[in-house]
Amino acid sequence: MNNEIVLSVRNLRKWFPVRRTLSEIFRGKRRWIKAVDGVSFDVKKGEIFGLIGESGCGKSTTGKLLMKLEYPTNGQIIFKGKDVSFLSSAEEIKKYREQVQMIFQDPYSSMNPRFRVRDVLAEPLIIHKKARTPYEIEKIAEKVLEQVKLTPPDEFMDRYPHMLSGGQRQRVATARTLVLSPDFIIADEPVSMIDLSTRAEILHMMKEVQQDLGLTYLYITHDLSTARYFCDRIAVMYLGKIVEIGNSDDIIDNPLHPYTQALIAAVPEPSPGKENVIKDLPIKGEIPSAANIPKGCRFHPRCIHARSMCYENMDDPELIEDSNEHFVACYRYKEIK
C-alpha cells in the first residue's frame, strides 16, 4: 500500500423517492429515502478499505454507485484523477468497468445457471474484446482459476453453477472479476452466503490474489471479525453516513463513536463450559427510517450517551481527526472516550 489515492468519494448522496399517498400528491409533498447521505472517503492504491455497518445502512448502495449500477443524486466519484460521477455514454461506462469490477453478495444468483464455468469467465472477455480466439479465452480462464485455487482448472471448466459448492461458486465469482485485470474490486459481502468453515479460506485466497496482483479492494461487510482480519482501514456507516474512519486495529481496539462501540460489544464471545448469556448492549431502540432521519446527530435516539446538544443541533456532527488518521463524527466522543 502507498499514499496514492485511487478512488475519492466526496459528499456522495443517493436518495430514492417514497411512493406517495393520495393526500401527499394533492399537497405536492415528496418524501425521500436517504440511502446514502453525504458520504466521503478515500481509498489508497493497494489497500483493502472496509465499509461496515448494520443491514440497511447504505453499504451496498454505495458499492452500486461506485460500480455505476446506480447514479448518485449528487456528489463526486473521482477514480484515478477522473470524475466518473455521471458517466453517460455506454463506451465510457464500458471502459470504466474494465478497471472496476464487483464481487456480488450472492454467488447463487450472480451467475447464469445455464452457463458453464468456461462461459462465465469468457463472457467479460468477449464483451470487452480482451481475447481474440477461443484458445486465448481458454488460457486466461485457466490462469484465473489457478489464481483462485480451483485446480486443476480442467476439472471445473465444464461444470454448471449447481455442480459447485458455495465456496467454489464464490471462487468462480472472484475469478470472473480477475479476467479483465482490473485495478479496483468492490467486494460486497463476498462471504456472507458461505458457511463458517470456508469463510477464512476464501478471505485468505482473496488477500493472496490482492497482494500478488497489487489490487485495491473496497470490502463491504457487517462482520467485524472478518473486517479486522482482512482490511487495512475501516469506515463505519450508520443510516447513510460515515461516523468513524481509521486503521482497522484502532477501530476495533479503540472505538470512539458510540455506534462503533455497540457494534463491537455485540460480537459474540466464546465461553466454553458456560451458559450463553444475552449481553446488555450499549444501544437502545431500533434503527430509524431512512425516510425520516432524526435532526442533529442521527444516532441520538439510540445513543445511551446522548445529551441535548446531540439533538438540538440542526446538522450532523462532522468527521474530525482525533489522532493518527482516526476520524469520528460525534459531539461528545472526548467525554465518553
Coil vs helix vs strand at 294: coil
What is the model's pLDDT at position 280?
Answer: 76
What is the model's pLDDT at position 70?
Answer: 93
User: Could you state, in order of their start, the residue ranges of all structural domains in the chain?
Assistant: 5-266+281-336
pLDDT digits (tens, 9 = 90+) for 291-319: 889 999 999 999 999 999 998 887 889 99
**pLDDT at 1 exceeding the cut of 70:** no
Q: Tell me the pLDDT band of 278, cut-offs 50, 70 and 90.
A: low
Q: Tell me the pLDDT band of 336, cut-offs 50, 70 and 90.
A: confident
Give me the mean pLDDT over the 132-159 stretch: 94
User: Residue 250 corresponds to which amino acid?
Assistant: D
Q: Tell me the pLDDT band of 275, cut-offs 50, 70 and 90.
A: low
pTM metric for this prediction: 0.91
**pLDDT at 67 exceeding the cut of 70:** yes
**pLDDT at 62 exceeding the cut of 90:** yes
- For residues 104 and 176, the answer to whether their CB atoms sit within 8 Å is no
From the list 184, 188, 186, 190, the residue with the least C-alpha distance to 172 is: 190
pLDDT digits (tens, 9 = 90+) for 323-335: 889 999 999 999 8
Q: Going by DSSP bridges, is the β-strand pair 48-52/216-221 parallel, antiparallel, or unpaired?
A: parallel
**pLDDT at 268 exceeding the cut of 70:** yes
CATH class of this structure's domain 5-266+281-336: alpha beta
pLDDT digits (tens, 9 = 90+) for 117-136: 999 999 999 999 998 899 99
- What is the distance between the alpha carbons of residues 24 and 21, in angstroms, rounded to a whole number? 5
